[in-house]
Amino acid sequence: MDAKDCEGFEDLLVLHGYGELDAQEGARLEAHLKDCPRCASAREDLRRVGQALDTVPVPMPPPERWDGLAAQVLALAAVPAGRRRGSISSLARPGLVRAAAVLLLVAGALAVAAGLLGHRETAFDAYAQAIRARNDGLLERLATEFPDSDLARVARDLSPRRMDAADPGPPLPRDHVVVHWETAASYLRQRIDLSPSPGDRFHLAEIYLAKQDRPEALEEYRAVLRDYPDSQFAMLAGLRIEQLAQ
Amino acid sequence: MDDPGQALAVRYQMGRDPADFERLVLHYRDRVYRVIYRLVGDADEAMDLTQEAMLRVHRSLDQWDHRAAFFTWLYRLAVNLAIDHHRRRSRDRAVPYGEDFPFADPRPGEVERYDEDEERDVLLLRVRRAILDLPEAQRAIVVLRHYEHLPLARIAEVRGVALGTVKSTLFAAFRSLRRALEAEGKEKV
Ligand SMILES: [Zn+2]
């Protein structure tokens, strides 16, 4: 077997290693390998290359950067096109269809963000998610997952379902929801006084919005934009401000 | 194709429900990130590019015409994005290795100071460097075949080239890798 033939076989070795040869070609190659120390040693080399490739790890992103990915993408998709043209108001004017689409995107981004933020491990986020969804099942979960938090106690008191009751009872009445918002807002304000964070401020703004207090809501959204321009909440706050301007 | 992501992609394409987008991102983000990381060799950049890839999915999904499976379309998007980026960056910067390569470019004389524990890391650096030194087209095919386990026929679709080209590119890549790793090995002795 001369060296020229062997070159072809060396290439086939790569395909063989990945199971990309058909049975006939594979058999022909195996037969050649039995009689050709040169190609047999090439196979060993390739095996070593493959093993070397296998040693390279991939560092996965930290969950805190990874969890909001979809929300960040939707927020990015909704904002920059208008901003880049230097006019936020152009978003509001290009006709009803476009405006409606933008609004849907904004709402979508916020909904996704709310859902993702709802997975964050704080009592308030669980609470906000439960209230937003008008879901007293989530309220119960809050009481179980954060048994020591003030909000869990409030949730337990207000929920028509008792934690230990076999009867699930009626859904949360509207009045209770309003009371919840008040409670949540005052709880948040306390937290913000103790240690301010963009997430809490954004949520507070959301609460004002839910209470239909637009001036307060706008003020909070603007505060998020001003004080935390680099956070993902700034993007979301910007979206809300645009939405409210329409 | 029994990839559940395919159904998700179709649903999102039809309904544009953000909840479906979230599911789609959750389903594919790790794979997209891995491919991009292997191509650019820097974790932060890979994260940014993954975000950019998902943004393009959101914006351009209407252009996916179902002639290729969704993940073929997605891989093509991700690979092209990473290659373009890496090419631009290599032009801009003298050293195409990211800051997260703690062992990149040991200064002359530094290698001798590694103790035996660190020898493994030096070898790792050599492998990484051998991969990143491959021309983009070769690296892409090694990444898709070796790490992502895509059949060569599928890779041809992703890259938009003939199967024969994929094969000859793969052969060239392995010849380079073999040479690079052998040469490094001999240098050490
Ligand atoms: Zn031979």
pLDDT digits (tens, 9 = 90+) for A168-226: 344 444 444 555 667 667 777 777 887 788 877 887 887 787 677 889 889 999 999 99
B127 shares a domain with B78: no
Positive/negative CA dihedral, A36, A19, B40, B169: positive
Residues B120, B171: one domain? yes
Using 50, 70 and 90 to split pLDDT, how confident is the model at A7? confident
Q: Is A123-245 in CATH node 2.40.30? A: no
| Rounded Cα–Cα distance for residues A110 and A237 (Å) | 9
**Would you say residue B134 has pLDDT above 70?**
yes
Inter-chain residue contact A112 with B146, CB threshold 8 Å: no
pLDDT at B184: 56
Phi, psi of A152 (to 5 degrees): -65, -40
Residues B14 and B87 occupy one common structural domain: yes
Give yes or no: residues B88 and B137 share one domain: no
Q: Residue A84: is its pLDDT beyond 50?
A: no
pLDDT band, very low/low/confident/very high, at B101 (cuts 50, 70, 90):
very low
In a domain, B50, yes or no: yes
Do residues A83 and A235 touch, judged by C-beta distance below 8 A? Answer: no
Q: How many CB atoms lie within 10 A of CB A132?
A: 20
Lowest mean pLDDT among A58-72, A116-130, B53-67, B113-127: A116-130
**In chain A, positions 26-85, which contact chain B (CB-CB < 8 Å)?**
45-46, 48-50, 52-53, 55-56, 58-61, 65-66, 69-74, 76-77
Note whether residue B182 is domain-resident.
yes
Together in a domain, B176 and B117: yes
- Residue A45 Cα to ligand 1 middle (Å): 13
B83 in the same domain as B22: yes
Torsion of CA A158, A163, A166, A167, to 10 degrees: 10
Q: Hey, is the C-beta of A101 within 8 angstroms of any chain B C-beta?
A: no
Give the separation between CA A182 and CA A200, rounded to whole angstroms: 15
CA distance B176 to chain A (A): 10
Q: Domain of B153: which CATH number?
A: 1.10.10.10
**Residues A222-232: b if buried by 16+ CB within 10 A, e if exposed:** ebbbeebeebb
Q: Are A16 and A46 in contact (CB under 8 A)?
A: no
In chain B, the residue whose alpha carbon lies closest to the alpha carbon of A19 is B151
ipTM here: 0.84
Q: Do residues B36 and B83 both lie within one domain?
A: yes
Q: Does residue B99 lie in a domain region?
A: no
Q: Convert B79-90 to b/e letters by CB count within 10 Å (16 or more is b).
A: bbbbbebbeeee
The CA distance from A225 to the nearest CA of chain B, in Å, is 22
Find the range with the poorest average confidence among A98-102, A130-134, B132-136, B183-187. Answer: A98-102
Pick from B26, B33, B38: CB nearest A61: B33
Give pTM, 2 decimals.
Answer: 0.59
Q: Provide the number of structural domains found in chain B.
A: 2
Residue B115's domain spans which residues? 109-189
Q: Are B152 and B170 in contact (CB under 8 A)?
A: yes
B79 and B117 assigned to the same domain: no
∠ Cα A118 A122 A127 (to 5°):
60
* Final residue before a domain boundary, out of B94, B118, B151: B94
A12 Cα: distance to centroid of ligand 1 (angstroms): 11
For residues A234 and A201, the answer to whether their CB atoms sit within 8 Å is no
Integer Cα distance of B62 and B64 in angstroms = 5
Nearest to A112, CA basis, from A62, A80, A64, A69: A69
CB-CB neighbors (< 8 A) of A111 in chain B: 18-19
| HEC sequence for B95-111 | CCCCCCCCCCCCCCCCH
In a domain, B44, yes or no: yes
Question: Residue A97: which residues within 8 A CB-CB, separation 6 or more?
Answer: none
